[in-house]
Chains A and B, each alone.
Chain A
Amino acid sequence: SAVISQKPSRDICQRGTSLTIQCQVDSQVTMMFWYRQQPGQSLTLIATANQGSEATYESGFVIDKFPISRPNLTFSTLTVSNMSPEDSSIYLCSVAQELNSPLHFGNGTRLTVT
């Protein structure tokens, strides 16, 4: 399966600031997604990163708060904007080689907002 690298692996940020998380895959993939994993909770899909067009956001997530880019088939970024302590979470990049192939995950970015 593809090797997925996320940067940074962790960060501590001040409220009101923004953080951009990068996801790099070692091979071209059709589908890329961003998930959030809050402490003691299940994974929640934030959005599907679409190459060359606007991301598709799930209910409860908006582009102004979580802008996403996907310039090509191997790279995507997620920005967490105007952060508050409630944004403290693990953010995970996931990929699928093609439609209806299983998801694979990166190791996540552990974000703490103070």
Chain B
Amino acid sequence: QKEVEQDPGPLSVPEGAIVSLNCTYSNSAFQYFMWYRQYSRKGPELLMYTYSSGNKEDGRFTAQVDKSSKYISLFIRDSQPSDSATYLCAIGQGAQKLVFGQGTRLTINP
């Protein structure tokens, strides 16, 4: 079993839809939960960063952590074509010792 599992997609939704992206992990010691967005031919860009548990909201983006289920989610509300990218979850015991998911390729159709 991989330490971090992420459905690679691809995921295609219409503009304005709510998008849900998810990862599961196996190590209960993980405390740092990140979401990165990666546009084609660019490096990953930090989108959301959560330490320990709970929810975090930033504009149209909400990150949720459920440590009891070892499950994290990223929700995108009112999705826009500019949200089309690959989304990577990254989880670890430290903010720098991260295990990355495979990435979910998301396309928002106008």
Contact = CB atoms under 8 A, between A and B. Distances in A.
Bind each other = yes
Interface of A: 1, 4, 31, 33, 40-45, 92, 96, 99-108, 110
Interface string B61-99: 000000000000000000000000000101000111111
Given A42-B101, A42-B102, A103 B96 contact: yes
Nearest to A93: B43
- Of A4, A31, A102, most buried by chain B (CB within 10 Å of CB) is A102
A13 to B, nearest CB: 19
Contacts of A103: 34, 46, 90, 95-96, 98
B94 A106 contact: no
Interface of B: 4, 6, 8, 32, 34, 36, 41-46, 49, 88, 90, 94-103
A93 B96 CA distance: 13
A31 B98 CA distance: 14
A42 B95 CA distance: 17
B10 to A, nearest CB: 12
B34 A102 contact: yes
Contact of A42 (B32, B46, B88, B97): B88
Given A33-B96, A42-B101, A108 B43 contact: yes
A102 B36 CA distance: 11
Nearest to B31: A100
A73 B34 CA distance: 25
B102 A41 contact: yes
Contacts of A1: 46
